Chains A and B, each alone.
Chain A
Amino acid sequence: MKRLPAQKGMLHYLVSKVRPDIGRTIEKTGVIETIVVGLGAQGTRHAGLMQEFGTNVTAGIAPGRGGTRIHETVPVYDTVKDCLEEYPNIVAASIWRHYSTARDATVEVIESGIPLVLLITEGIPLRDVRDILVAARRKKTLLLGGNTPGVIFPPEGIKIGMLPNVFYPEETSPGVFGPHGVTIVSRSGAILYHMSDALASAGIAQNAVLGIGGDGAIGSTFQDLIPLVMGYKNTELVVLAGEIGGSMEETLAQNIEKNRHLYPKPLVAIISGRHAPEGKTMGHAGAIVSPGQAYGTFESKKAALERAGVDVVNSQYELIDVVGSKLKGKKYFQTERYYEKMRETWEAKPKKRGWGTLITKVAPNTLMVSGYLLQDLIEKASFLETAHLLIKGELPDKQVLEEHRRRAFEASQIEAPVFSWSDSDDISKTLASFLLLDEHVAKFPQAGKDGPVQKAVFAIGRFARYLARRLGTESALNGADADEPFSAIVSRAISGNNIVDPHYARMLEAMIVASVDHGVTPPSAQATIIAASTRAAYEVAVAHGIGAITDVHGGAGAKAAEFFRRCTAESRQEGISIDEATRSLMSEYVKAGRRIEGMGHRIHTDDPRRDTLWKLARECEVAGDSVAVSKIAGAVFEQVKGISLPINVDGVIGSIVADMGLGSSVAKALFVYGRLAGLSAHYFEEIATQPQMRRINFAEAVYRGKELRTFPRGR
């Protein structure tokens, strides 16, 4: 489908008429940016439908919800002003607020200078509408509605409002849209479908459809809009769809008689309500024939318009006949193309929108955090950088990173909460308990643009202290210098060694980064997200996730470390080769029906993290016999059991931990440490983008974040 470029369409033309400066911006960028004001069920839903149709929905406005996002990707601002500071070129706003608050919201939009405003809200008190009109006239805003279904520009593929995708543009060749056609301007939404259906059945295209609104007082009337759209060179005829009630059609007729030059193109009026009884409101507030009034009836409108030389019709047949003859039988597309589109539209399976995450893309053998491959992050990025990326979607600059480093260092130097644990407790349980009990984390503010990332960085710093307390390495941590890289702090906490070996520290950090996240489906992420959906506190929700890391989930590294240690010990003791020792131990395990941990993965056959970790183990000079076992484990297993089950990232981490001479439980501690960053990101994403207490189908989640990009530098 080749759409008409925005610069050539009617919307651009209309905007240029009102605000030439914004018109010129569109000419340069080719982009028409819109916002959605009022994010209740309707506003939010239609923001998504507009996006699907092709409209650029740049932002949403909802007081008190600034900093959150709708459809996971559209940022929400508290005020229009806040939004315009980030996005100064907003062209149009659709307003979906409740009728009782629509006035203030609309006046705010108008005052902000946005040139095109679609007031969707129905039933706004007339006094409020007049306040809105006074503001719009002062700011020369092009205001449509209230109670407008919105506008749609089929050639450009832009709609603002709630009109469904049933209109058909000119086709210069199949699938290539042209700008010519009929413009429909209507008081009612429902009638638009039937008018366009009638025209399309005769091959007549709509280049724009404008709903002006069915309420008793509205922003733009027929006489405001029709001369405007007739000025667009590609509009070849205008259909106005009017109805009983009010005097808009009569006023238009007077205006035509007075200012013929403003109406240079054929105009056909379809007026409904010929058979309407007096004194009864017909659905629309404006559609009522008031007894005793000289205007507002079908007859008064028809007579006035005919006096002004406008053809008035009252049925689909007549509309097709009159419009067709005025256009001399011109066809803008093959009607079968229209029917085909409608068949496709109506017969399409309802799209499951699912829900989205911007954090990590998980696909077979691909792991990508906000567009960066995880293996690149393992090799080139620090833990704090990766944490920042997980939460903010971008890498931090130098200054911010230094602030993070300092904050994490300071957090690591504060005493851990006091409680007692048993050494037989799962290390994840101890770490979760520290987090739950830590009033420093609880008190750390999370509001504002940078609140979440700062809080997560603080928690990462605190975790070094928890680890040191649990592993009995606090004296090494206390000896840290305020200027040390954070990897040194981590190294102190894990090794208990006061002298930091940069290679050793780097290896630890790489294993932590390798563990940061695996999307929304791991049980730990699910636990955190479910808690976040109830709006539990940060430390509670993240502790939920950490608590879910056990021997079953996230504990494979520790188990693998033990297995590899046994292989190497056996090789030493029995004086046999590593290969043989591995084979014999594996056979033993398989015979006994025991699971060998660190093998296989439910998604990856070729875990992208694996090779990078092996490479780093070699570079950091920590690779020993266990790593050697890990490299042959997959092949040996296949020989023993006949099943191809490659080593996974847990297995590799287990082997490196074993070779570094660390306790097996450190493998799990590293996993937990890394996940702390990922879980934090999921927590903040959930509270910023999803309704509270939603029903979560984790299998339905879709990655909607940044596409693949190159990591900008080396290590």
Chain B
Amino acid sequence: MRLYEYEAKKVFQAMGIPVPKQYGVVHSLKDLEGVDLKFPLMLKAMVLVGGRGKAGGIKKIKNLAEAKSVAKGLLSMKIKGYSVETILVEECLEEKAACYIGATMDPSSFNNVVIVSASGGVDIEEVAKSQPEAIIKEELEGNDRELHPEVAGRLALKLAEGLGASSLADGLSSIISSLYATYQKYDAKVCEVNPLLVTEKGPVAVDAKLVLDDNALYRHADLFKMLGLSDRRHDVAEPTRNEQRAMAAGFPYVDLLQEDAKKDPEKLYVGIVPGGAGYGIFSIDEVANVGRKYFDGKVVPVNFMDSGGGPPQGRVAEMFHLLMDYPIVDVLITSRFGGISSCDVFIRGLVQCLQERHEKKQRVLPIYGRMVGTDLPSAHAFLEKARSDMPEILKDLHMIIGNQKIMAEVIREGLEEAFKARRASR
């Protein structure tokens, strides 16, 4: 979970990292009236993505009139798809120099790393690429909760030298230690100050980035309380309608198309109910690959879904409902293969969905799939009976029982049928 800058700064301040004075956090122009303003000041758009500065989301303000007009502009702005709903109003500091400090986990060794650079205030990934010598990195073998003073001192000294003022070393050392302690204490994935401004009064964290480990949120009730948050926040990007619906039903789902994507009538749009997460990712590729290889690339997978782990019948039904309610979808591909999930529960959920749609006269899409795994005999028997009881309702369900064909083949045949049906209907 990402924290907003003003939230991260609250945490930093509590951990002993100096931050600029916050005059207020506002959500509207009216809010701004209640804030005690001292000019010049900064107005900063609060969104959970980087690159706000470049996008014009951070402004230095000299007077009230400017504050109002800029605030109005910011509140109607979208930055990389995120609408700005909150503005941080804070002290504007005179800078002498800017640098970078951060703590994170190395993605290949899984060790903690502390990174400092005298080149602050710009994209650190860019710095790493263009002038790697400007990045000072310390990889830590252990997983101590506090940074060893020697390491902090060494990094601080290098950073101070880079900034051309060795006298800053002591102050930097303490901030680096606090940053690392924050990273560990709050289970951060990324804990970063960029830029750390060197001012008359010493270094101050002008920006703050804190990304928390979702898996560890359960043990940070104290942090939620400090920030006045009642629940974890869905971040990264705003969920789409389908994603919200899936979330409410309790299964992971990701839309691959923009919400307002236009349908190309030449193409076949494929919804996928795949099984576990791993095959969920892979099946998207498989559908696209089969499309490329056999159908001139006219096949568009529309979603990721994790339908593994033994979902109950009602949830299975909802997985199919969701995709059949999604107007862009033409055909569904499904696979059940594995040890934990029951084929029986799966097929009952699928049939339930078809029955419900039939009763409510909702759109039913053809489904092509394969079913192998736990409880296959009872699933098979159920399906046979359902077919003879309600052939009309199940006429669009094309399910292969057993693994005489690999899934790629099932997908290819399913798509071929779907294209054939389309040609026939035109």
Tell me the interface secondary structure of chain B in the complex.
mixed
Does B337 interact with chain A (Cβ within 8 Å)? Answer: yes
Bound: A349/B374 CA distance, A: 10
Q: Which residues of B contact A218 (CB under 8 A)?
A: 110
Bound: A179/B129 CA distance, A: 47
Does B171 interact with chain A (Cβ within 8 Å)? Answer: no
Q: What's the minimum C-beta distance from A340 to chain B, rounded to whole angstroms?
A: 11
**Total interface residues in chain B, CB < 8 Å:** 65
Is B112 within 8 A of A272, CB to CB? no
A189: contacting residue among B141, B276, B285, B407, CB under 8 A = B276
Binds A, one of B300-308, B357-365, B392-400: B300-308
Is A125 within 8 A of B107, CB to CB? no
Per-residue contact bits, chain A 302-331, to B (CB 8 Å; 1 contact, 0 not): 000000000000111110000000000000
Per-residue contact bits, chain B 51-77, to A (CB 8 Å; 1 contact, 0 not): 000000000000000000000000000
Does A4 interact with chain B (Cβ within 8 Å)? Answer: no
Is B284 within 8 A of A130, CB to CB? no
Q: What's the minimum C-beta distance from B243 to chain A, rounded to whole angstroms?
A: 9
Bound: A287/B288 CA distance, A: 19
Does A569 interact with chain B (Cβ within 8 Å)? Answer: no
Q: Which residues of B contact A133 (CB under 8 A)?
A: 110, 143
Which A residues between 191 and 211 are near B, CB-CB below 8 angstroms? Answer: 191-194, 197-198, 201
B290: contacting residue among A247, A292, A315, CB under 8 A = A315
A214-B278 contact in complex given A130-B112, A194-B407, A339-B404, C-beta closer than 8 Å? yes
Bound: A248/B143 CA distance, A: 20
Closest residue of B by beta carbon distance from A198: B406
Is A316 within 8 A of B286, CB to CB? yes
Which B residues between 72 and 116 are near A, CB-CB below 8 angstroms? Answer: 105, 107-108, 110-112
A197: contacting residue among B308, B376, B406, CB under 8 A = B406
**Total interface residues in chain A, CB < 8 Å:** 76
Does B161 interact with chain A (Cβ within 8 Å)? Answer: no
Q: What's the minimum C-beta distance from A547 to chain B, rounded to whole angstroms?
A: 42
Binds A, one of B210-218, B223-231, B418-426: B210-218
Is B288 within 8 A of A275, CB to CB? yes
Q: What's the minimum C-beta distance from B420 to chain A, rounded to whole angstroms?
A: 21
Q: What's the minimum C-beta distance from B127 to chain A, rounded to whole angstroms?
A: 13
Does B20 interact with chain A (Cβ within 8 Å)? Answer: no
Q: Which residues of B contact A282 (CB under 8 A)?
A: 252, 254, 277, 280-281, 304, 306
A126: contacting residue among B213, B280, B337, CB under 8 A = B213
Bound: A313/B337 CA distance, A: 21
A317-B408 contact in complex given A342-B372, A342-B402, A342-B403, C-beta closer than 8 Å? yes
Bound: A275/B301 CA distance, A: 9
Closest residue of A by beta carbon distance from B140: A130
Bound: A513/B55 CA distance, A: 90
A284-B278 contact in complex given A197-B337, A272-B285, A279-B236, C-beta closer than 8 Å? yes
Bound: A134/B112 CA distance, A: 11
Closest residue of A by beta carbon distance from B287: A275
B276: contacting residue among A188, A251, A347, CB under 8 A = A188
- Of listed A163, A282, A283, residue having the most chain B CB within 10 A: A283
With contacts defined as CB atoms under 8 Å apart, how many contacts are there between chain A and chain B in the complex? 206
Closest residue of B by beta carbon distance from A346: B376
Which A residues between 121 and 156 are near B, CB-CB below 8 angstroms? Answer: 123-131, 133-134
Bound: A270/B279 CA distance, A: 12
Does B282 interact with chain A (Cβ within 8 Å)? Answer: yes
Which B residues between 128 and 148 are near A, CB-CB below 8 angstroms? Answer: 129, 141-143
Bound: A347/B189 CA distance, A: 46
Q: What's the minimum C-beta distance from B20 to chain A, rounded to whole angstroms?
A: 26
Is A191 within 8 A of B285, CB to CB? no
Q: Which residues of B contact A233 (CB under 8 A)?
A: none
Does B184 interact with chain A (Cβ within 8 Å)? Answer: yes
- Of listed B125, B218, B375, B376, residue having the most chain A CB within 10 A: B376
Bound: A187/B282 CA distance, A: 12
Is A214 within 8 A of B285, CB to CB? no
Is B373 within 8 A of A164, CB to CB? yes
Closest residue of B by beta carbon distance from A243: B281
Bound: A279/B407 CA distance, A: 28
Is B143 within 8 A of A164, CB to CB? no
Q: Which residues of A contact B184 (CB under 8 A)?
A: 127
Bound: A217/B109 CA distance, A: 9
Bound: A124/B288 CA distance, A: 33
Which A residues between 250 and 295 are near B, CB-CB below 8 angstroms? Answer: 250-251, 270, 272-277, 279-285, 287, 291-295
Q: Which residues of B contact A124 (CB under 8 A)?
A: 215
Q: Which residues of A contact B49 (CB under 8 A)?
A: 291
Bound: A123/B125 CA distance, A: 28
Per-residue contact bits, chain B 135-175, to A (CB 8 Å; 1 contact, 0 not): 00000011100000000000000000000000000000000
Per-residue contact bits, chain A 213-225, to B (CB 8 Å; 1 contact, 0 not): 0101110010000
List 7 A-B pairs, Cβ < 8 Å. Answer: A125-B216, A164-B339, A187-B278, A190-B279, A243-B281, A280-B254, A315-B286
Additional A-B contacts beyond A217-B110, A281-B252 (13; CB < 8 A): A130-B112, A163-B339, A189-B276, A191-B278, A216-B105, A272-B278, A272-B281, A275-B288, A277-B254, A280-B254, A296-B107, A346-B373, A346-B376
Chain B residues within CB distance 8 Å of chain A: 49-50, 105, 107-108, 110-112, 123, 125, 129, 141-143, 184, 187, 189, 213-216, 218-219, 236-237, 252, 254, 256, 275-282, 284-286, 288-290, 293, 301, 304, 306, 308, 335, 337-340, 372-378, 402-404, 406-408
